[in-house]
Amino acid sequence: MAGETITITTQDGDFTAYVARPSKPKAPAVVVIQEIFGVNAVMREIADGLADQGYIAICPDLFWRIEPGVDITDKSEADWKKAFELFNAFDPDAGVKDIAAVIDHIRADPGCSGKVGAVGYCLGGLLAFLTATNTDADASVGYYGVGIENRLGEAEKLERPLMLHIAEEDQFVPKEAQAIILQTLKNHQHVTVHSYAGCDHAFARHGGEHYDEAAAKLANGRSLAFFQQHLA
């Protein structure tokens, strides 16, 4: 199954998105929200995997306002340097605006059932939280989101299901930040939080330095069950 690149048109400008489709004619959709490395092979692999599970997966280029077409890896110092420069220049609120446009676009797709979820990693984990609080996505999942603790005031806007995966040894989300997130969200009726002992940031990034196969399998299974429940 080969994915395709499409163009999303907005009032702010045009940007591209990678789309992978399932074999069935009608299916729910999932917006795949990138890490700090752009729409790279890892993100396309995640999208392809979701398509294999029966979802239309769409991964937008959210760095387009800074530099369109970013596709780098976590394998070199130069790429890490560029990734952090992009991260520091990125406006999360503009990103959420773009995600909202992607949700509208894919929801109107003839192959979409009308249900649209979102899943994000790292920077995308924060954006998945903000997607849950600021868009009409039907269900959102965030993996090791960086900076969620700074936006928890928006949790009161949550009206649809949100699942968060937290790595207990996350070098980018300190223990204090994790405690604040857990304390704030633990009794929220729409939120499910899972913590993974001994896991560092990006434990679910296939091929990454901190990839943990068992934890990734557990988290991904939980995410799929969550989408099956809320996007049916």
Catalytic machinery residues: 170, 201
Q: Which residue in this structure is represented by tokens 């994790």?
A: 178
Q: CB of 140 within 8 A of CB of 106?
A: no
Q: Which residues contact 89 (CB under 8 A, 6 or more apart)?
A: 66
Long-range contacts of 173-178 (CB under 8 A, 24+ apart): 173/144, 173/145, 173/146, 173/148, 173/149, 173/201, 177/148, 177/149
Residue 114 backbone zone (phi > 0: left; psi -120 to 50: alpha; other: beta): left
Secondary structure (3-state) at 165:
strand
The amino acid occupying position 144 is: Y
- Tokens (6 digits) for 19: 């789309």
Q: CB of 26 within 8 A of CB of 113?
A: yes
